[in-house]
Amino acid sequence: MAERSFTLLVVDDDRRLRDLLEKYLMEQGFWVVTAQSAEEARARLNNDNIDLIILDSMMPHESGVQFIQKWRADHSHPKYNLPVLMLTALGDVENRIEGLEAGVDDYLSKPFEPRELILRLHKLLERVYENRFPNKLIKLGKYIYDVGREMLYHGNEIVYLTTLEGNLLKIFSAQPNVVLTREELADKLGLNPSIRNVDVQMARLRKKIEDDPKQPLYLQTVRHRGYVLRPN
């Protein structure tokens, strides 16, 4: 999978959580290395080609915040500015501010939904490694379409798409803001090139992503020309 070009360092003193995260993230296509302490994390960062750190906030001897403060301060290290996603059981504002001031890029509170973790990782990696990250996320109001995974999300929930609906959204996402004729769409979908066939699929897809399918904001009709996808 495309994400294999990214290596994640999971730092957590909870062995069970480390193992679960390692297994899940590997299944999602990432390379994963782990550390149970700040000291071990430093060794990993010195010896492995890490792209992003998933860091527990509460660890014995040296907390996640203390670790990242020291790490960010060492500008002589070539990896001092790696992106950091912090996992925390602390939900109050002061602890989040402390982490952000220390150099944390994003937060996720425990317990968390695994799919939300993946979405946050995608966004963070895409922002930092735009040229390396192939999976583009397209925002359509309350929905997000992950181009690489060909999946539509509403919040943390996956929205079911039929094969034709998924293929149609994939076609539009490859050329946002470009008008596609019904004939082009029918050809790409492998449908009989009738206006009715394409219009039926468009109507079905609009029901999945538009608040008001009769007045679409994202899958718009261009009079006498065809259809166009207009992301946020």
Could you report the per-residue pLDDT of 146-171, keeping only the tens digit for each? 887 778 998 878 898 888 898 899 89
The 10s digit of each residue's pLDDT in 209-228 is 999 999 999 999 998 889 99
| Mean pLDDT value across residues 118-141 | 78
Domain boundaries, the chain: 2-128, 137-229
Q: Which two tokens stand for residue 127?
A: 């922002």
Question: Is it the case that residue 89 has pLDDT exceeding 50?
Answer: yes
Q: Which two tokens stand for residue 64?
A: 């996640």
CATH code matching the domain that covers 2-128, chosen among 3.20.20.150, 3.30.43.10, 3.40.50.300, 3.40.50.2300: 3.40.50.2300
pLDDT of residue 78: 81
Confidence label for 2 from pLDDT (cuts 50, 70 and 90): very low
Question: Is it the case that residue 142 has pLDDT exceeding 80?
Answer: yes
The DSSP line for 110-165 is: SS--HHHHHHHHHHHHHHH-TTT----EEEETTEEEETTTTEEEETTEEEP--HHH
Query: What's the CATH number for 137-229?
Result: 1.10.10.10
Question: Is it the case that residue 191 has pLDDT exceeding 50?
Answer: yes
pTM of the model: 0.58
Output the furthest CA–CA distance in the chain (Å, rounded): 68
CA distance 87 to 41: 15
CA distance 175 to 191: 20
